[in-house]
Structure 1
Amino acid sequence: MININKLLSELLYDPKDPVLFNSAFFFYFFAMFLLCYLAVSKSKTARVWVYTVFSLFFFYKACGYYVGLVILSAIVDFNLSRWIHRTPSRTVKKSLLIFSILLNIGLLFYFKYTDFFIGIINDLSAGHISPLHLMLPIGISFYTFENLSYTIDVYRDEIKPVNNFMDYLFFLSFFPKLMMGPIVRAADFIPQISMPYRLNSEDMGKGMYLIMGGLFKKIVISDFIYQNFVQFIFDDPSKHTGLECLIGVYGYALVIYCDFSGYSDMALGIARWTGFKIPANFDSPYQSSSITEFWRRWHISLSSWLRDYLYIPLGGNRKGKVRQFINLALTMLIGGFWHGASWNFIFWGALHGTALAVDKVRIDWLKKKKTVITGWKATLLKVAGVLITFHFVCFCWVFFKASTFHDAWALIHQVMFDFQPGIAMELYNGYTAVFWIIILGFVLHFLPAKAEFSIERLLGRIPVAGSVAIMVTFIWLLVQVKSTQPMMPIYFQF
């Protein structure tokens, strides 16, 4: 009886211990899911039901009864999209689309931004409206954008709405990407549902590489650096020297990349093992030589979503340079606000929007000059561009991470006016393991893509039994080095 009660308690949502990709519960969950999925792999309908049920349970384990919001969102947008498609009147179509947008944005706004605007109202009018202290449903920013892109694409006649509700619920609740993305578009995903399930050596190798690489990024690099160094710096920057603060910023650049891209890689790998290919969300972003290139490589699903459903509808670059700069600024401001209800995120978005506008001026100037730079000069410019872009991104990360503007400026002040390079050896001796993990993280990040392809091909040649042995051994090794207290993924808050 005790064991049964313990098992039942494990199946219930625990707000203090939500399920994570790197939690022990997830490995049992995933093993059970794979067994059930493979058992019904020849039936499309059964695959959809098994995947959807496990996805909804996974989401329940992550955020409790807020799983109902995913189901409600699916019901509303499934029916609205079909209504939009069947209606001949353009006016009615547009009205239904606006209704869908208002519902989705309204739901997101209520949970994510209500307290933020209550605070603004209280500050402006000396009011005393009590904050609601709403718990933010995990993944709401991601599946809201997926709903919006779906109904907008149906309105634009770019895709036809699905006829089977379970197909749409499956798409929206697909657990590998449900909580932290990537933001997957229905046009890319839904056609794959009806394809027969086949797993070849390429899928096996690619999936294993992505899952193991994602776990390594998250547990060995991100969690270790954050828990043993970075969090101390950002908790109170004024207590640390400028050198410590600067290394803390470099560390955080690696932390947020390895944390988010690690989860994205695991999502891609799990999807690949179950017969689905979803677009990559990161492409070695710190190798970028311009801020424009950075946003083609960082959080690709969000930046492309903002481009296609916000920047271009605002006018893009079709209405003159001034309007283009305004559109860029608005897009990045909204992108910053998407990340959270905080002036820090808005300022972070404004910095990137301004940088993108300046970079557009640079690109247009180079096009007009028609100057082609080759040889060592091109290499030097490339390296300089990478260094400048990386340090600008790191500067912006300060505002993204810091709790308040005061903390952000305190950190910058320490770097500029209290650097104290003389403590370098003392600092190294105190945080030797952290510094070597940071170096390892950046070395791995700057590896050429062909090295990754070679590893994937090698893993793909290993028999199934050998692959299982490698995965079990790898997970066992991670358990030995992981911290006793798992770090909550950074993008859970978004």
Structure 2
Amino acid sequence: MIDVNKLLDILLYHKDDPLLLNSAFFLYYFATFLLCYLAVSRSKEGRVAVFTIFSLYFFYKACGMFVGLVILSAIVDFNLSRWIYQSEDDRKRKGLLILSIVLNLGLLFYFKYTDFFIGIVNQVSNGDIPLLKLMLPIGISFYTFENLSYTVDVYRKEFKPVDSFMDYLFFLSFFPKLMMGPIVRAHDFIPQIDKPYELNSEDIGKGMYLIMAGLFKKMVISDFIYQNFVQYIFDDPSKHTGLECLLGVYGYALIIYCDFSGYSDIAIGIARWTGFKIPPNFDSPYQSSNITEFWRRWHISLSSWLRDYLYIPLGGNRKGKFRQYINLGLTMLIGGFWHGANWNFIFWGAMHGGALAVDKVRLDWLKKRGGGATGWLGNVLKVGGIIVTFHFVCFCWVFFKASTFQDAWSLLHQVAFDFQPEVWLELYNGYTAVFWVMLLGFILHFLPKRTEVFTEQSLSKVPVVANVAIMVIFFWILIQVKSSETMMPIYLQF
């Protein structure tokens, strides 16, 4: 007999057990969603209604009553964008745009940065203003940026606002990308809503590959390395040798990539199965031979958003070289601040901004000389560029991950002055499985693109029944090898 009270308790929001794409409850949620979605798949209104209801419930299960912020944001920007589009008065249009920016950023700043600025005021004035200790609504940074890009595109007359509020609420609350992105542009997503739902073998194969790859990266590689090695290093770097700290940094570089890109892959794969194509968010970023290339491959939806809605409006490269370098630095500084109200994030963004400016000088110099080296020398320089870029990114990850500047400098001090390479055998014997998983992760990351394409094409040629069998076997294996404790996604905090 079904225990109704227990069932209701499972369906309600619990702060310590939010609904995530990698949680056990999600399998039941997604199976129920698919059945309902397929039942109304021939009706556009039915698809929108089912998807929106399940998306809002997903958000409720993830962060409780903060689901109301998504609905409120949709109401505000749906109406403001329509008023902007309908108005012929430039001053009124600009005023409405400013209102949209103030409301969206005001909401984000209130929840994300209030305590940060209270802390600064207290330090400067020796005050004792109490911190509000506000809970950060999950996904607010992502749907705020989606709202802003939509309103700005309408203001620029690059996109006609939707006529249906449900269509806009559907776009904003779309559950695969709601909590951790990718940041989806309205002009990429909304036109797909009116298209009939059609699923071909390519969609099945690509979606299946992305979901399995994402779950493997997140639940096997990222969670295992963090729980069994990296968390101990960053908890107190001073207790570990420089070799341990260096390997811990390498491990974290793999963790944050597998964690975030894995979640993005799952989201894009689910979207593909439901008839929506979302652009990729990562493209093997550690294969980059310079920092400019890295930011074309890492968190693509954020870096392109910052380029289109911050860097270019600041002047981009249109106001001279020196101003261009300043714009690059400011864009990355703000990008660092977007990640959180913490001086470490600001420093992380500043370092990347400075590196991008320096790399721009290098690229301009090479362009004047007719380009870089070719042949064997070009290949050697490319490999060297990959190594240098990877280690610069890892150096920056230290400040991104460390709780304080003191912890970050403590770790770097250990690497520089207390390396102790002689402990490598003892370290290997203590963390054998971790290091092999790390090696597997880096090997998979550096596989050529054609390997991924081949796998997707192979899965698309397999009959549906066989695909189901593959998924069942994959989930069985995943349950056997995954970490016993469910790890919260890293980017959930942003």
Q: So what's the TM-score if we normalise by structure 1? A: 0.99
Residue by residue over 1:166-205, the C-alpha shift from the partner in whole angstroms, topping out at 9 and shown as x without a partner, is 0000000000000000000000000000000000000000
Q: CA deviation at 1:370?
A: 1.1
> 1:196 aligns to what SS in structure 2?
coil
Alignment-derived partner of residue 435 in structure 2: 435
Alignment-derived partner of residue 395 in structure 1: 395
Alignment-derived partner of residue 268 in structure 1: 268
Alignment-derived partner of residue 154 in structure 1: 154
> 1:391 aligns to what SS in structure 2?
helix
- Counterparts of 1:325-336 in structure 2, within 5 Å, are 325-336=325-336
Alignment-derived partner of residue 424 in structure 1: 424
Closer, same or farther: CA 332–97 of 1 in aligned 2, 3 Å: same
Q: CA deviation at 1:29?
A: 0.2
Say whether the 8 Å CA contact 2:220–2:483 is kept in structure 1: no
Which has the higher mean CA deviation after the structures are superposed, 133-142 or 463-472?
463-472
> 1:166 aligns to what SS in structure 2?
helix
Alignment-derived partner of residue 306 in structure 1: 306
Alignment-derived partner of residue 252 in structure 1: 252
Q: Give the residue type in structure 1 aligned to 2:220.
A: V
Q: Give the residue type in structure 2 aligned to 1:146.
A: E
Q: CA deviation at 1:10?
A: 0.8
Q: CA deviation at 1:350?
A: 0.2
Closer, same or farther: CA 441–89 of 1 in aligned 2, 3 Å: same
Residue by residue over 1:233-264, the C-alpha shift from the partner in whole angstroms, topping out at 9 and shown as x without a partner, is 00000000000000000000000000000000
Distance in 2 separating the partners of 1:3 and 1:236: 46
Q: CA deviation at 1:476?
A: 1.4
Distance in 2 separating the partners of 1:372 and 1:381: 9
Q: CA deviation at 1:302?
A: 0.2
Distance in 1 separating the partners of 2:88 and 2:476: 59
1:114 matched to 2:151? The reply is no
Distance in 2 separating the partners of 1:76 and 1:133: 26
Alignment-derived partner of residue 181 in structure 2: 181
- Counterparts of 1:440-455 in structure 2, within 5 Å, are 440-455=440-455
Q: Give the residue type in structure 1 aligned to 2:228.
A: N
Distance in 1 separating the partners of 2:371 and 2:208: 44
Distance in 2 separating the partners of 1:478 and 1:251: 21
Alignment-derived partner of residue 337 in structure 1: 337
1:489 matched to 2:489? The reply is yes
Alignment-derived partner of residue 143 in structure 1: 143
Q: CA deviation at 1:466?
A: 1.2
Distance in 1 separating the partners of 2:483 and 2:160: 47
Distance in 1 separating the partners of 2:215 and 2:106: 35
- Structure 1 residue runs of 4 or more that deviate by more than 3 Å after TM superposition: none
Alignment-derived partner of residue 366 in structure 2: 366
Q: So what's the TM-score if we normalise by structure 2? A: 0.99
Alignment-derived partner of residue 28 in structure 2: 28
Q: Give the residue type in structure 1 aligned to 2:82.
A: R
Alignment-derived partner of residue 383 in structure 1: 383
Distance in 1 separating the partners of 2:372 and 2:41: 54
Distance in 2 separating the partners of 1:419 and 1:440: 25
Distance in 2 separating the partners of 1:197 and 1:119: 51
Alignment-derived partner of residue 217 in structure 2: 217
Residue by residue over 1:435-457, the C-alpha shift from the partner in whole angstroms, topping out at 9 and shown as x without a partner, is 00000000000000001011001
Q: CA deviation at 1:371?
A: 4.2
Say whether the 8 Å CA contact 2:290–2:386 is kept in structure 1: yes
Closer, same or farther: CA 420–372 of 1 in aligned 2, 3 Å: closer
Alignment-derived partner of residue 230 in structure 1: 230
Alignment-derived partner of residue 315 in structure 2: 315
Q: Give the residue type in structure 1 aligned to 2:13.
A: Y
Distance in 1 separating the partners of 2:338 and 2:446: 29
> 2:314 aligns to what SS in structure 1?
coil
> 2:428 aligns to what SS in structure 1?
helix
Q: CA deviation at 1:6?
A: 1.1
Alignment-derived partner of residue 469 in structure 1: 469
Residue by residue over 1:338-358, the C-alpha shift from the partner in whole angstroms, topping out at 9 and shown as x without a partner, is 000000000000000000000
> 1:115 aligns to what SS in structure 2?
helix
1:8 matched to 2:11? The reply is no
Distance in 1 separating the partners of 2:371 and 2:33: 57
Distance in 1 separating the partners of 2:3 and 2:430: 45
Residue by residue over 1:12-32, the C-alpha shift from the partner in whole angstroms, topping out at 9 and shown as x without a partner, is 000010011111100000000
> 1:312 aligns to what SS in structure 2?
helix
Alignment-derived partner of residue 410 in structure 1: 410
Distance in 1 separating the partners of 2:16 and 2:373: 56
Alignment-derived partner of residue 459 in structure 1: 459
Alignment-derived partner of residue 128 in structure 2: 128
Alignment-derived partner of residue 92 in structure 1: 92
Alignment-derived partner of residue 47 in structure 2: 47
Distance in 2 separating the partners of 1:99 and 1:476: 51
Q: CA deviation at 1:416?
A: 0.2
Q: Give the residue type in structure 1 aligned to 2:156.
A: R
Count residues in correspondence.
Answer: 494
Q: Give the residue type in structure 1 aligned to 2:319.
A: K
Identity across the alignment (%): 77
Distance in 2 separating the partners of 1:163 and 1:472: 42
Which has the higher mean CA deviation after the structures are superposed, 182-191 or 363-372?
363-372
Distance in 1 separating the partners of 2:169 and 2:314: 30
Distance in 1 separating the partners of 2:79 and 2:105: 17
1:240 matched to 2:219? The reply is no
Distance in 1 separating the partners of 2:224 and 2:484: 11
Q: CA deviation at 1:372?
A: 4.7
Distance in 2 separating the partners of 1:13 and 1:477: 29
Residue by residue over 1:344-401, the C-alpha shift from the partner in whole angstroms, topping out at 9 and shown as x without a partner, is 0000000000000000000000011114521110100100000000000000000000
Residue by residue over 1:14-58, the C-alpha shift from the partner in whole angstroms, topping out at 9 and shown as x without a partner, is 001001111110000000000000000000000000000000000
Residue by residue over 1:305-344, the C-alpha shift from the partner in whole angstroms, topping out at 9 and shown as x without a partner, is 0000000000001101111111111100000000000000
Q: Give the residue type in structure 1 aligned to 2:168.
A: Y
Distance in 1 separating the partners of 2:243 and 2:101: 47
Residue by residue over 1:119-171, the C-alpha shift from the partner in whole angstroms, topping out at 9 and shown as x without a partner, is 00000001111000000000000000000000000000000000000000000
Distance in 2 separating the partners of 1:278 and 1:23: 22
Q: CA deviation at 1:484?
A: 2.0
Alignment-derived partner of residue 60 in structure 1: 60
Distance in 1 separating the partners of 2:457 and 2:371: 40
Distance in 2 separating the partners of 1:407 and 1:61: 35
Distance in 2 separating the partners of 1:227 and 1:353: 31
Q: Give the residue type in structure 2 aligned to 1:204.
A: I
Distance in 1 separating the partners of 2:355 and 2:445: 24
Distance in 1 separating the partners of 2:469 and 2:433: 29
Distance in 1 separating the partners of 2:457 and 2:2: 47
Q: CA deviation at 1:432?
A: 0.3
Q: Give the residue type in structure 1 aligned to 2:331.
A: T
> 1:488 aligns to what SS in structure 2?
coil
